[in-house]
Amino acid sequence: MQIIDVLFAPANGAFFYDDQAAIRAGREHDGVAYKGEPLTPGFTSVRQPSKALSIGLMLEDDAVIWGDMVSVQYSGAAGRDPLFEQAAILSFCREVLIPRLIGLDVSQGAEICDAALAFHDGARLPIAVEYGVSQALLKAAAYARRITLAELIAQWLGVPPPTQAVPLFAQSGDERYANVDTMILKQADVLPHGLINSAEKFGPDGATFSDYVVWVADRIAQLGEAGYKPTLHFDVYGWIGLGIGTDPKAIADYIASVAERVAGYTLNIECPADYGNRTAQIENYAAIVEHVDQLCGNATVVADEHCNTLEDIEAFIAARAAHIIQVKTPDVGNLLDTARAIVAAREAGIGAYSGGTSAETDISARACVHVALAARASMMLAKPGMGVNEGITIVGNEQARTLATIRARLNRDNSHAG
């Protein structure tokens, strides 16, 4: 089944693109916005509405299969691609991608993705382009075979179709108290992210953050149903390093002190420090992991910054520079690379968190569900947006429907075989 036309539509992400450097420098909140000038190239303000570009592949039967090109909230930071610019991406796609895609036979399967996204002028395509186009191509290949995207990727990986749900991780945004209540009532598997991205939220010597962790645990005890014991996961955006120093032993000591206060829970700490480049990040994270393992049994270190592409992720895995790797899907690009990364982490005995960003779209979020299921991720982000209910609904429902479809097919096949 061939592609006969390529469509484009302007789209909105579900949150904002934020200038991380400016926020770390102390830009003041002004309602939803931030005051002051941006610092990262490409930004015209510290906070800008996230934009996306939808690409639709029209097939011979007139079906149109969509994917969304979009970037992460903190674009241009920690080795990531620059800020997403809708007009520039559209121009690139018209010039480079349309000639590659017209006439392509999507019934060939997942392999068409790598071929269509080959280098241009000796360089990778923009990561956002890889991300959106791979969504559309893989979904079209699944459509041509009348199977789910999860089944297509499982076939490509050489594993059985997935039948078990992946735990959902909900993120609070700046509504760091009310949204925790929502997560508890919705029984999120992992919570709350917390958005600890400023000195105010971390507090002197980390006391404010430590107290917040205890508050979350207490709130679970107050509101949660009997037996409900979610994993506590907090993204601190490098603020342990910024707040108490970057010595790995000191960071591990601090993490252990927080973990001790919530001893009945598993505590995930994402991005405890930012060492400025991949080499330094890997070296120091490996040391933090080693020290944490010596100090306590309920804390884990999660890699995010400078762990962007499949190559980056493989380097972190090889050095055991994290207990859990965030496979940040818009930074990885090609969805097949997300699948490869999840499998690589899992086979190395490292947690594989299928992440992403609040700035994504419903289309990209749903596509990522299938990859996480097929590759057997440890957990996946309920995205897009920062509203909790929306992400849990979009990702949770897509997962439930996909698993129901797969199980029905397997039951039918088994009954025929009997």
Residues labelled as active-site residues:
328
CA 292, 294, 296, 299 torsion-angle sign:
positive
Q: Is 84 exposed, middle or buried (0-12, 13-18, 19+ CB in 10 A)?
A: buried
Is 15 in a helix, a strand, or coil? Answer: strand
Known binding residues: 171, 235, 270, 304, 326
Residue pointed to by tokens 């919530």: 262
Query: How far apart are alpha carbons 373 and 118 in whole angstroms?
Result: 26
Whether the Cβ atoms of residue 308 and residue 341 lie closer than 8 Å to each other: no
**How many Cα atoms sit within 13 Å of 52 on the Cβ side?**
30
Query: How far apart are alpha carbons 94 and 197 in whole angstroms?
Result: 38
Query: Structure tokens of 269?
Result: 């700490």
Q: What's at 207, amino acid-wise?
A: A
Query: How far apart are alpha carbons 333 and 371 in whole angstroms?
Result: 13
Known binding residues for (2S,3S)-3-methyl-L-aspartate: 171, 326
Count of C-beta atoms within a 10 Å radius of residue 109: 16
Using alpha carbons only, what angle is made at residue 131 by residues 20 and 392, rounded to the nearest 5 degrees?
Answer: 70
Buried b or exposed e, range 239-259, using 16+ CB within 10 angstroms: bbbbbbebebebbbebbbebb
Query: How far apart are alpha carbons 298 and 323 in whole angstroms?
Result: 11
CA 132, 133, 135, 140 torsion-angle sign:
positive
Known binding residues for Mg(2+): 235, 270, 304
